[in-house]
């Protein structure tokens, strides 16, 4: 096995370097993708900014397609949680008892992979040799690699899942024990609280109830038991195989020594040596070989036990990784992901502030290039990233609100307008609700048509509709003011 490693040392080193680079790229993939996107825009002459600058035709809302494209490409890597949204997600983590926790780091998974591979090389070599006893050295090497990879994937997966299950189950068991000791609450869990819910719904309930409202009430140690059983089976089996292999090696060595001694002794078949001397020498040789064999067996046993202990400890580290990292709450990972693990809004905002500044700077650079273009000279470009985010938020809120599409009752183009006979008031009240009437009126673009729809209504319904329109307008203004305040907080205007 060592000969194989030494023969492919350079390849092994390059594989290790490539693996480390891949681990680093995966761990910081979000930042890496942002800078790759930025490099794609800023590349001289052939960059995307240079290509977008050739198109500066204003479209809907005063935006150009080039500006929208740039903002959209950069905006994918920037988060805009408001202070209230940020605090709500941190409140979810706190009530799920997941504050301060984070997903299992990539470096730990990589370290566990290396440890499992290093520990399993010897055992895999023995197992591969046994599986293909008549095979060549290359066959044994391929089998060894395959067994190591399978062993690594299985053990890293099992230990991580077992550690996570152990943490979550202990959380539920602890909460249940507190509930039984309390004896004041009839129900263990009061409701199922989601991430988007108001996190103050269960403020008046005990801490253990708040935990299980977000974690759940069921628990199990099944995967923990399976993992422990697999660890013990592999440890015992690998130790037994190594011990059996040592016994076989000693047997072959003993047979080889006996045959070589007889072949090199010219008096072995003659009666030239007295029997007393022969028996005395044979007893001395046998005693020396027995002592050597006993010493070798003792050293081998100590080495095999040490290897088994190392394997078990390595798997315990893997279980600890799953226990110490990860989340118990159903949506805690999503909460952590959106907050980037920051505990204060200021730290969260400071993390994204440089990315927003880079995006705004690149947008201004694009606008300057478009303004200098001879085909579109004289045009002004004043849109900002803040404007883009505000319109995006407003559109998202509009899409989320259910709006009833109004029926198109306008006369066909070129046709004479016919007087509309208003239906009886009772029929209007029965056929449409206030919300539907308001949605129909607000969905009409023509001002005269809006007035006509309102005039058709009887006085009580008209009064309610006008009041609802005013209320919606006030809510829209309040939402706009709140959104501007949130963006001011984010962009620090």
pLDDT in tens, 77-134: 998 888 889 999 999 999 999 998 999 888 888 888 888 887 777 666 666 556 555 5
- The pTM for the full model equals 0.70
CB 48 within 8 A of CB 40: yes
Map residue 384 onto helix, strand or coil.
coil
Higher pLDDT, 372 or 99: 99
Round the average pLDDT of the chain to a whole number and report it: 78
Measured over the CA atoms of residue 126, residue 132, residue 137 and residue 142, the dihedral's sign is negative
How many C-beta atoms lie closer than 10 Å to residue 246's C-beta? 18
Sign of the alpha-carbon dihedral angle for 481, 487, 488, 490? positive
- Predicted pLDDT at 137: 58
Kindly report, residue by residue over 130-159, the tens digit of the pLDDT. 655 555 656 666 676 777 778 888 899 999
Contacts 24+ apart (CB under 8 A), 235-239: 235/308, 235/311, 235/312, 236/308, 238/123, 238/126, 238/307, 238/308, 238/311, 239/304, 239/305, 239/307, 239/308
Question: Could you tell me the pLDDT band of residue 279, with boundaries at 50, 70 and 90?
Answer: low
* Residue 64 DSSP code: B
**Above 90 in pLDDT, residue 224?**
yes
Cβ contacts of residue 350 below 8 Å, gap of 6+? none
Distance CA 307, CA 303 (A): 6
Tell whether the model's pLDDT for residue 257 goes beyond 80.
no
Q: What is the pLDDT of residue 266?
A: 55
DSSP 58: B
Contact partners, residue 329, CB within 8 Å, separation at least 6: 92, 93, 96, 97, 98, 214, 215, 335
Query: How far from 231 is each of 159, 227, 267, CA to CA, in Å?
Result: 9, 6, 56
C-alpha R_g of the chain: 38
40 near 47, Cβ under 8 Å?
Answer: yes
Q: How confident is the model at residue 331 (pLDDT cuts 50, 70, 90)?
A: very high
Provide mean pLDDT across the span 16-30: 72
Higher pLDDT pick, 326 / 417: 326
In this prediction, residue 407 carries a pLDDT of 41
Nearest Cα neighbor of 98 from 334, 346, 350, 320 is 334
Would you say residue 263 has pLDDT above 70?
A: no
Burial 52-70 (b: 16+ CB within 10 A, else e): bbeebeeeeeebbebbbeb
Q: Is 362 strand, coil or helix?
A: helix
* Of 12-21, 208-217, 355-364, 426-435, minimum mean pLDDT range: 426-435
pLDDT, residue 452, reads 78
273 has a pLDDT exceeding 70: no
Beta-bridge mates of residue 64: 58
CA 231 centroid distance within chain: 27
Q: How far apart are the first and last CA of the chain?
A: 65
Predicted pLDDT at 120 = 72
And the tokens for 326? 């990860």
- Position 380 scores a pLDDT of 72
Classify residue 256 by its DSSP letter.
H
Q: How confident is the model at residue 470 (pLDDT cuts 50, 70, 90)?
A: confident
pLDDT at 216: 92
* Pair of tokens at residue 373: 């273009």
pLDDT digits (tens, 9 = 90+) for 226-252: 999 999 998 898 888 878 877 777 777
For the record, the structure tokens of 433 come out as 């609700």
């Amino acid at each position: 096995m060592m000969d194989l490693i030494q023969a492919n040392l350079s390849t092994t080193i390059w594989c290790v370097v490539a693996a480390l680079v891949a681990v680093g790229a995966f761990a910081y993939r979000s930042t890496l993708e942002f800078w790759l996107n930025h490099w794609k825009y800023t590349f001289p002459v052939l960059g995307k900014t240079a290509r977008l600058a050739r198109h500066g035709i204003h479209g809907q809302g005063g935006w150009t397609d080039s500006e929208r494209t740039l903002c959209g490409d950069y905006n994918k890597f920037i988060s805009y949680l408001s202070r209230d949204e940020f605090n709500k997600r941190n409140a979810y983590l706190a009530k799920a008892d997941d504050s301060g926790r984070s997903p299992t780091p990539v470096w730990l998974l990589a370290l566990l992979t290396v440890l499992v591979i290093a520990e399993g090389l010897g055992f895999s070599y023995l197992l591969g040799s046994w599986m293909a006893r008549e095979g060549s050295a290359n066959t044994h090497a391929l089998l060894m690699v395959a067994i190591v990879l399978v062993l690594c994937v299985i053990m890293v997966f099992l230990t991580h899942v077992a550690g996570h299950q152990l943490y979550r189950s202990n959380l539920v068991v602890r909460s249940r024990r507190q509930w039984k000791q309390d004896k004041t609450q009839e129900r263990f869990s009061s409701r199922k609280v989601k991430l988007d819910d108001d996190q103050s719904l269960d403020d008046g309930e005990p801490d253990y109830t708040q935990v299980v409202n977000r974690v759940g009430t069921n628990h199990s140690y099944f995967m923990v038991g399976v993992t422990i059983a697999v660890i013990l089976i592999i440890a015992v089996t690998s130790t037994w195989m190594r011990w059996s292999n040592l016994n076989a090696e000693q047997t072959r060595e003993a047979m080889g020594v006996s045959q070589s001694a007889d072949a090199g002794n010219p008096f072995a078949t003659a009666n030239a040596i007295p029997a007393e001397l022969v028996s005395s020498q044979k007893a001395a040789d046998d005693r020396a070989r027995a002592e050597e064999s006993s010493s070798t067996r003792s050293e081998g046993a100590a080495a095999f036990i040490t290897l088994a202990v190392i394997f078990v400890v390595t798997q315990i580290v893997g279980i600890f990784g799953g226990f110490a990292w990860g989340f118990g709450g159903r949506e805690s990972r999503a909460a952590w992901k959106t907050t980037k693990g920051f505990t204060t809004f200021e730290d969260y905002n400071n993390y994204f502030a440089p990315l927003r500044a880079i995006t705004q700077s690149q947008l201004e650079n694009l606008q300057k290039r478009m303004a200098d273009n001879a085909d579109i000279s004289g045009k002004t470009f004043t849109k900002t990233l803040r404007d883009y985010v505000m319109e995006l938020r407003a559109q998202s809120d509009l899409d989320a609100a259910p709006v009833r599409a109004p029926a198109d009752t306008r006369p066909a183009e070129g046709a004479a307008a016919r007087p509309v006979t208003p239906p009886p008031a009772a029929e209007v009240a029965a056929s449409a609700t206030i919300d539907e009437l308001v949605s129909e009126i607000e969905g009409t673009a023509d001002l005269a048509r809006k007035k006509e729809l309102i005039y058709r209504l009887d006085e009580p319904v008209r009064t309610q509709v006008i009041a609802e329109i005013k209320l919606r307008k006030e809510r829209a203004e309040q939402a706009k003011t709140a959104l501007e305040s949130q963006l001011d907080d984010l962009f620090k205007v």
